[in-house]
């Protein structure tokens, strides 16, 4: 009887994990068992929305010329789910060392899915760091641009600028017996500015207007970034 109950328990766990896997996100099974049906559906919907938001944030950062606001709350939820899932995997891996279980293959699938999500997060972060490297002086001069960074990114940018200033002084000014006047950013010719006329492809989420042109829901529209940036921020358009 104990063996039958153990088999039934393992089947339930396996089914729960498979359902979470198909939903593209996973949460600790212990937590999901302690909530009622309404809360479970709410959590599943939240996970799906978060995954779609992450995908779209990644696409947006990749396709537009300027740096976008950091998805602070989204990343907090993502990292918390990843942490819980890794704890679940580690807990079951310890048990697998003493007893073989059918759940082993499913754990491998979960690990693969987590790697995919972590890849997307790393790619998102790298895209932002590249823009910070390229537009550091511009971002530093514009408070509204600096507000788009999180604290770690601001620290990274300040370190990048400090290193850039030191390199400039060491490689050029000292060798030419010159003295740097002020900051590098004061020389406007040295400030790299994002090309806001860069073309982007968008899709209308709802009926809207772009540069006084009426765009119907579902329509695909190609325009300069400066023309559609407000529509993207308002949620009327999304980048493809």
Per-residue pLDDT reduced to its tens digit, 181-194: 445 555 566 788 99
pLDDT score of 7: 52
**Highest mean pLDDT: which range of 18-32, 109-123, 157-171:** 109-123
Over pLDDT 70: what percentage of the chain?
68
Q: Which residues pair with 209 in a beta bridge?
A: 214
Contact 128, 67 (CB under 8 A): yes
- Contact 23/47 with Cβ under 8 angstroms? yes
Report d(CA 233, CA 136) in Å as an integer. 22
- Spatial CA neighbour of 173 closest among 159, 187, 158: 187
Q: What is the pTM of this model?
A: 0.71
* E strands in 167-216: 199-204, 208-210, 213-215
Which of left, alpha, beta for 152 (phi over 0: left; psi -120 to 50: alpha)?
Answer: alpha
pLDDT band at 115 (very low <50, low <70, confident <90, very high): confident
Position 155 pLDDT exceeds 80: yes
Of 50-59, 99-108, 145-154, 202-211, the one with minimum mean pLDDT is: 99-108
The residues near 141 (Cβ < 8 Å, ≥ 6 apart) are 185, 191
Q: What percent of the chain has pLDDT over 90?
A: 33
Is the model more confident about 220 or about 179? 220
d(C-alpha 107, C-alpha 99), whole Å: 15
**Residues 2-190, CATH architecture:** Up-down Bundle (1.20)
pLDDT digits (tens, 9 = 90+) for 15-56: 554 455 445 444 544 444 444 444 567 777 888 888 899 999
DSSP for 117-147 reads HHHHHHHHHHHHHHHHHHHHHHHHH-HHHHT
Would you place residue 169 in the very low, low, confident or very high pLDDT band (cuts 50, 70, 90)?
Answer: low
**More confidently predicted of 127 and 90:** 127
Strand order in the sheet with 220-224: 220-224, 199-204, 237-239
Q: Is the pLDDT of residue 176 over 60?
A: no
Q: What residues does each domain of the chain span?
A: 2-190, 199-239
Residue 84 has a pLDDT of 82
Least confident of 53-62, 91-100, 134-143, 147-156: 91-100
Q: How many residues does the chain have?
A: 240
Q: Between 110 and 52, whose confidence is greater?
A: 52
Q: In angstroms, rounded to a whole number, what is the distance separating the alpha carbons of residues 204 and 53?
A: 16
Find the angle CA(73)-CA(58)-CA(230) to the nearest 5 degrees. 80
Alpha helices by DSSP H, the chain: 2-22, 29-33, 37-63, 72-96, 104-141, 143-146, 151-168, 225-234
Q: 9: which 2 tokens?
A: 């328990």
CA dihedral of residues 171, 176, 177, 183 (deg, nearest 10)? -60
pLDDT of residue 24: 46
What is the Cα gyration radius of the chain?
24
Task: Pick the more confident residue, 151 or 176.
Answer: 151
């Amino acid at each position: 009887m104990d063996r039958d109950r153990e088999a039934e328990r393992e089947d339930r766990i396996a089914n729960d994990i498979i359902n979470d896997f198909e939903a593209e996100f996973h949460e600790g099974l212990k937590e999901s068992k302690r909530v009622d049906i309404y809360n479970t559906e709410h959590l599943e919907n939240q996970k799906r929305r978060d995954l779609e938001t992450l995908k779209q944030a990644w696409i947006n950062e990749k396709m537009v010329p300027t740096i976008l606001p950091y998805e602070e709350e989204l990343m907090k939820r993502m990292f918390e789910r990843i942490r819980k899932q890794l704890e679940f995997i580690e807990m079951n891996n310890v048990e697998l060392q003493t007893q073989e279980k059918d759940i082993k293959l499913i754990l491998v699938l979960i690990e693969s899915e987590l790697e995919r999500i972590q890849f997307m997060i790393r790619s998102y972060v790298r895209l932002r760091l590249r823009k910070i490297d390229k537009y550091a002086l511009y971002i530093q001069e514009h408070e509204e641009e600096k507000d788009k960074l999180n604290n770690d990114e601001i620290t990274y940018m300040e370190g990048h600028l400090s290193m850039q200033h030191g390199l400039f002084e060491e490689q050029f000014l000292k060798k030419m017996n010159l003295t740097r006047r002020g900051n590098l950013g004061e020389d406007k010719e040295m400030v790299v500015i994002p090309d806001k006329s860069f073309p982007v492809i968008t899709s209308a989420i709802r009926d809207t207007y772009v540069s006084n042109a009426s765009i119907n829901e579902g329509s695909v529209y190609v325009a300069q970034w400066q023309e559609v940036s407000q529509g993207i921020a308002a949620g009327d358009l999304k980048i493809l």
